[in-house]
Structure 1
Amino acid sequence: MKIIVTEKISESGIEYLKKHAEVDVKTNISREELLGIIKNYDAIIVRSATKVDRELIEKGEKLKVIGRAGNGVDNIDVSSATEKGILVVNTPTGNIVAAAELTVGLMLAIARNIPQAYHAGLNGDFRRDKFKGVELKGKTVGIIGFGRIGSLVAARLAAFNMRVIAYDPYMPDSRFEKYGVEKVTLDELLQQSDFITIHLPKTEETKKMIGEKEFKKMKKGVRIVNAARGGIIDEKALYNAIKEGIVAAAGLDVLEVEPKYNVERQDFHNPLLELPNVVFTLHLGASTYEAQENIGISIAQEVISALNGNLYGNIVNLPGVKSDEFSQLKPYMRLAEAMGALYYQINETPVRLVEVIYRGEISRTNTEIVTLYALKGFLKPVLEEDVSVVNAKLRAKEMGIEIVEGKIEEIDHYSSLIILKITDTHGKTTQFAGTTYGEEIRIVEYMDHKVNFEPTENMLFVKNKDVPGVIGHIGNVLGDFGINISTMQVSPNKNDGTALMIVSTDKEIPDEAVESLNKLNSIIKARAVKGLI
């Protein structure tokens, strides 16, 4: 495995990477050079400066993992990575304490005019009356975004005896109750807050969500902190709100367009930085020794884990699964993939609907990733290497296939059962079902036949007339091609005089062998299937 690191991470992180892979650290690499060499790497690790866009991803012919040393991924084209089946991992908790503490620091700075007083003193101006501020005690602080960092900020500001309110439509009421925070609407927050602090990712939904209309709803003299992402606040609207006296002060660690943070002198201009009541820090949210150590080690572990095929942890473009859940679900993932891989090897009719139904104990677990494995297996015979668990759902939707997941706790005979029901464009349904016994996987239903077989690498499925001699005929044909039968199972259908024969072999069954079998009078249809494990 080969990994390129384009921005600085801790030495501990680099050392961890080097124990498991070949590593090139190129922190000053140009865009042109990176585009030229990315084809040689299995993974890339970046922070916020390197743009991992569609062009770079397309040129990364071997790329399997993109690692973001930090939380936000707005410099990574996650959609393009997903299309290509590339995992995107990050370290959302590595710098949360640092970011929360900086937020409080900025709030104190703009409340008490600390940076302005410092610079006045340096320049010989000791008129302290110019820098009279306000206390946090008794004030209302509104937190927009109540995730990991927002909740840490709430806990710290409560210690200042502030009234803490928060807006986050995606968080349950229980989270607000846990931190003793009042849940409000965005309008209520804007109207009631003396201080506002933002803790959101930058998305299409949040881009410039605090603009001219929102500033007009705020209290006169409000103070605003943004240590999240530049562009969430409309900077022109903020500038005007400060000039008009609506906003008394702003503490910003981020800007919509930021300077290069590794250059001493540069031509950079932002009107906000000309205002005396704006405190700007150099995107320092994660800039503590502790945070950088945490982030460096965490991203190294995440990237190596992902390269080794472990689909748990902080994967941005897969459903979240914990390590112990992943181990518990692993046999079901193998089972779902094997059942999915059956359909297009025994049927050519296009599909309009895939239903994955979980019964019994497994219905009480996080099954979303198991469904992705079923889709991966289902699509791989027709899309070959262009499908993975990362892009399987996207590929299915591109093909016009509806995906439905269902859960039923009641079950007979088995502790857990997965049912894969596939409906083609003519309305015909094909169904498979399977279960597990520890690490062993078994398919127990195959197209209306009750069976019990273990999927293997090379298999033969034969629908035949239920007459004497069929087993011998099949054995003779396979023998002519030098193929040994490993296991065989027969499931007769007494209603129509046919039987299903399921055969595992020691090697791949060539098309010529299948053609020979289909010429036999006793054979209705023979299909060779491969790659179920």
Structure 2
Amino acid sequence: MRIIITERIADEGINYLKENGFEVDTRYGISSDELLGIIGDYDAIIVRSVTKVNEELLEAAKNLKVVGRAGNGIDNIDVGACTKRGIIVVNTPESNIMAAAELAVALAFAIFRNLPQVHVAVRNKDFRRNRFIGNELDGKTAGIIGLGRIGSIVARKLKGCNMRVVAYDPYITDDRFKMLGVEKCETLEELLKQSDLITLHTPKTSETYGMIGEKELNMCKRGVRIVNAARGGLVNEKALYDALKDGRVTAAALDVLDPEPSYDKKPEEQDYTNPLLELDNVMVTPHLGASTQEANYNVGTAITELVAGALKGEMVAAVNMPPMHTKDLSELRPYLNLAEMLGKIYYQAEKETVQQIEVIYRGDLADKETKVISLSVLKGFLDPINKEKVNYVNAELMLKNMGVEFKESKSTNLDKYTNLITVKFTTKKKELSVSGTVFAKEEIRIVDFFGYKLDFEPTPYVLAIQNVDKPGIIGQIGTILGADNINIAAMQWSRNRRGEKAVAFVSVDAEVSEEIMRLLKNIDGVLKVSMLKF
């Protein structure tokens, strides 16, 4: 079998593949057009962060069986398109976290002490040190956006510098903040207003892309310094450029850009331009987050072992495939799909931080091995907030790192259905639960939504609406959707008591725009509208 590697990994990993009988081609810096022309010859591709494994490439990759991402984030890989084609996607989310965290801290030190400018000056025989008076980290406030695995390490290291560390991460529990000794900011604005250093450690999603723009930079303390060693695009580069020019931001250190340049072209071949590269108070490094000998070794060997295992037909920790150990996968598949849907509902409909998740199995499911079904719940729960790296293997660990407690319970007693999965979400203020069942082995139904009884078949796009129970609301919702040519495939309302609150699931044929969502929310009597994507 043939494997192409388009970005640099450790030689040990390449040797491992060759020793295991694979034909390996290393084509570092290959252009998109050239790769498109030859990808059909390969059974697997190993990439890092630059190569785009998109629909166009996959269409040409007729023999492709495995995509390996040497590293953590998978925003350059169309996982959905891979899944549709039966292509396994594997990555190495734990292999380079220390390297990424240490680089972020190093960049912070560098821009607080003006080290990039000093280095250039001294190389030009300018030793006038009074021109480069910097600031100490000691006693300053560091604001960390994203307190996951890398953010937590950064917090620990900055606390070791005697910095006061605050963080914003709406998905991490209070107990996790306390354990790390980090002060919790309830809003991003709260963090921006008090931080001398802002460092970002979130995945790139629709929610986080451009999360620091002109508005947010205007909220910051004048003279703030910013580090982004996570993903290009989290900070709007035009807004950052303007803030650096007028002094609102003293300095920035960026290991990532939007878009990224080619990291393998020689200087005379490089055609990348970016206005930020023209500023003396900007330090840019070429996506060095994983570029340590240790991380290169860990990433390179880990990804090649995964790719080799997948090509051999072994069960591996795949992003898009649960590690099933059951003889009858077809029997469990509907329950896996239902479980993931139930998990996905919470953070698409609610925002309050979850303290505990309990998955309750009733009926004939209580006699089955349910671990992989529970992992499907956790994957669904984490997916709306952490799309880059959640999979069936790391879901439970990620939940633990967020400080969310997980419980599983079972009961064979059940009256109405033969099987029932209930997912209970506990926050500081309340408990909310959703339930679903499978009829006739494969017909999925959601039968309880936050205490309201339903019998609803989930579809890819569902509007969840909470409203006062009074006449006329259904008609207004239908009118607004119809005026925008949005077809209603199915609709079901539920109430507990007449005249109080009602909920509805409205299945539509396409995602509803923000403008239509706003119109729906403005209907008199409508309390809440959420777009659920299954």
What's the CA shift for 1:312?
4.4
The separation in 1 between residues aligned to 2:246 and 2:376, in whole angstroms, is 55
Contact kept? 2:362, 2:411, Cα under 8 Å: no
What's the CA shift for 1:26?
2.9
What's the CA shift for 1:269?
2.2
- Please list every run of 5 or more consecutive structure 2 residues that lacks an aligned counterpart in the other structure: 335-360, 378-390, 392-407, 422-437, 443-534
SS at match of 2:222: coil
Q: Compared with structure 1, are the counterparts of its residues 144 and 369 closer, same or farther at alpha carbon in structure 2 (3 Å cutoff)?
A: closer
The separation in 2 between residues aligned to 1:118 and 1:79, in whole angstroms, is 46
**AA partner of residue 220 (structure 1):** R
RMSD: 3.0
The structure with the larger Rg is: 1
What's the CA shift for 1:58?
1.3
**Residue of structure 1 equivalent to 2:298:** 294
What's the CA shift for 1:365?
2.6
**AA partner of residue 198 (structure 1):** L
What's the CA shift for 1:196?
0.2
Q: Compared with structure 1, are the counterparts of its residues 429 and 280 closer, same or farther at alpha carbon in structure 2 (3 Å cutoff)?
A: closer
**Residue of structure 2 equivalent to 1:4:** 4
SS at match of 2:240: helix
The separation in 2 between residues aligned to 1:139 and 1:146, in whole angstroms, is 19
What does residue range 397-436 of structure 1 map to in structure 2 within 5 Å?
Answer: 409-411=410-412, 429-430=439-440
Contact kept? 1:420, 1:431, Cα under 8 Å: no
What's the CA shift for 1:338?
4.7
**Residue of structure 1 equivalent to 2:35:** 34
Tell whether 2:267 aligns with 1:264. Answer: yes
**AA partner of residue 367 (structure 1):** I
**Residue of structure 2 equivalent to 1:276:** 280
What's the CA shift for 1:83?
2.2
How many correspondences in the alignment? 366
The separation in 1 between residues aligned to 2:96 and 2:109, in whole angstroms, is 20
The separation in 2 between residues aligned to 1:122 and 1:21, in whole angstroms, is 49
**Residue of structure 1 equivalent to 2:69:** 68
The separation in 1 between residues aligned to 2:23 and 2:82, in whole angstroms, is 21
For 2:238, which of 236, 246, 249 is the aligned residue?
236
Q: Compared with structure 1, are the counterparts of its residues 176 and 310 closer, same or farther at alpha carbon in structure 2 (3 Å cutoff)?
A: farther
What's the CA shift for 1:336?
4.4
**Residue of structure 1 equivalent to 2:217:** 215
SS at match of 2:7: coil
What's the CA shift for 1:271?
1.3
- Please list every run of 5 or more consecutive structure 1 residues that lacks an aligned counterpart in the other structure: 320-325, 342-354, 372-389, 391-406, 413-417, 422-427, 433-533
What's the CA shift for 1:318?
3.9
The separation in 2 between residues aligned to 1:132 and 1:34, in whole angstroms, is 48
Tell whether 2:226 aligns with 1:224. Answer: yes
The separation in 2 between residues aligned to 1:206 and 1:97, in whole angstroms, is 22
Tell whether 2:51 aligns with 1:55. Answer: no
Q: Compared with structure 1, are the counterparts of its residues 57 and 431 closer, same or farther at alpha carbon in structure 2 (3 Å cutoff)?
A: closer
The separation in 2 between residues aligned to 1:260 and 1:431, in whole angstroms, is 50
Contact kept? 2:364, 2:412, Cα under 8 Å: no
**Residue of structure 2 equivalent to 1:330:** 325
What's the CA shift for 1:369?
6.5
What's the CA shift for 1:38?
2.0
What does residue range 389-468 of structure 1 map to in structure 2 within 5 Å?
Answer: 409-411=410-412, 429-430=439-440
What's the CA shift for 1:340?
6.8
Tell whether 2:373 aligns with 1:367. Answer: yes
What's the CA shift for 1:87?
1.9
1:246-285 CA-partner distances (Å, limit 9, x unpaired)? 1111011111123322222223321111111111112111
What does residue range 20-169 of structure 1 map to in structure 2 within 5 Å?
Answer: 20-28=20-28, 29-169=30-170
The separation in 2 between residues aligned to 1:238 and 1:340, in whole angstroms, is 47
Tell whether 2:320 aligns with 1:317. Answer: yes
What's the CA shift for 1:118?
1.7
**Residue of structure 2 equivalent to 1:305:** 309
TM-score, normalised by the number of residues in structure 1: 0.63
What's the CA shift for 1:81?
1.3
1:443-493 CA-partner distances (Å, limit 9, x unpaired)? xxxxxxxxxxxxxxxxxxxxxxxxxxxxxxxxxxxxxxxxxxxxxxxxxxx
Q: Compared with structure 1, are the counterparts of its residues 60 and 131 closer, same or farther at alpha carbon in structure 2 (3 Å cutoff)?
A: same
The separation in 2 between residues aligned to 1:271 and 1:218, in whole angstroms, is 22
The separation in 1 between residues aligned to 2:149 and 2:245, in whole angstroms, is 33
The separation in 1 between residues aligned to 2:179 and 2:35, in whole angstroms, is 46
**Residue of structure 1 equivalent to 2:251:** 249
Tell whether 2:9 aligns with 1:13. Answer: no
Contact kept? 1:173, 1:183, Cα under 8 Å: yes
Q: Compared with structure 1, are the counterparts of its residues 194 and 78 closer, same or farther at alpha carbon in structure 2 (3 Å cutoff)?
A: same
Contact kept? 2:148, 2:201, Cα under 8 Å: yes
**Residue of structure 2 equivalent to 1:401:** none
Q: Compared with structure 1, are the counterparts of its residues 148 and 32 closer, same or farther at alpha carbon in structure 2 (3 Å cutoff)?
A: same
**Residue of structure 2 equivalent to 1:193:** 195
What's the CA shift for 1:55?
0.9
1:183-215 CA-partner distances (Å, limit 9, x unpaired)? 212111111111000111212221111100100
The separation in 1 between residues aligned to 2:11 and 2:43, in whole angstroms, is 21
What's the CA shift for 1:431?
5.3
The separation in 2 between residues aligned to 1:286 and 1:120, in whole angstroms, is 28
The separation in 2 between residues aligned to 1:48 and 1:362, in whole angstroms, is 40
The separation in 2 between residues aligned to 1:77 and 1:259, in whole angstroms, is 20
The separation in 1 between residues aligned to 2:367 and 2:173, in whole angstroms, is 26
Q: Compared with structure 1, are the counterparts of its residues 366 and 303 closer, same or farther at alpha carbon in structure 2 (3 Å cutoff)?
A: same
The separation in 2 between residues aligned to 1:67 and 1:420, in whole angstroms, is 37
The separation in 1 between residues aligned to 2:362 and 2:19, in whole angstroms, is 40
The separation in 2 between residues aligned to 1:269 and 1:410, in whole angstroms, is 62
The separation in 2 between residues aligned to 1:357 and 1:192, in whole angstroms, is 53
Contact kept? 1:363, 1:408, Cα under 8 Å: no
Q: Compared with structure 1, are the counterparts of its residues 286 and 340 closer, same or farther at alpha carbon in structure 2 (3 Å cutoff)?
A: closer
The separation in 1 between residues aligned to 2:161 and 2:258, in whole angstroms, is 31
The separation in 2 between residues aligned to 1:62 and 1:174, in whole angstroms, is 48
Contact kept? 2:200, 2:228, Cα under 8 Å: yes
What's the CA shift for 1:370?
7.8
1:298-336 CA-partner distances (Å, limit 9, x unpaired)? 1011212333444442x32345xxxxxx5xx613xx234
**AA partner of residue 124 (structure 1):** K
Q: Compared with structure 1, are the counterparts of its residues 218 and 419 closer, same or farther at alpha carbon in structure 2 (3 Å cutoff)?
A: same
The separation in 2 between residues aligned to 1:370 and 1:224, in whole angstroms, is 37
The separation in 2 between residues aligned to 1:73 and 1:364, in whole angstroms, is 28
Q: Compared with structure 1, are the counterparts of its residues 369 and 308 closer, same or farther at alpha carbon in structure 2 (3 Å cutoff)?
A: farther
Q: Compared with structure 1, are the counterparts of its residues 155 and 429 closer, same or farther at alpha carbon in structure 2 (3 Å cutoff)?
A: closer
Contact kept? 1:357, 1:420, Cα under 8 Å: yes
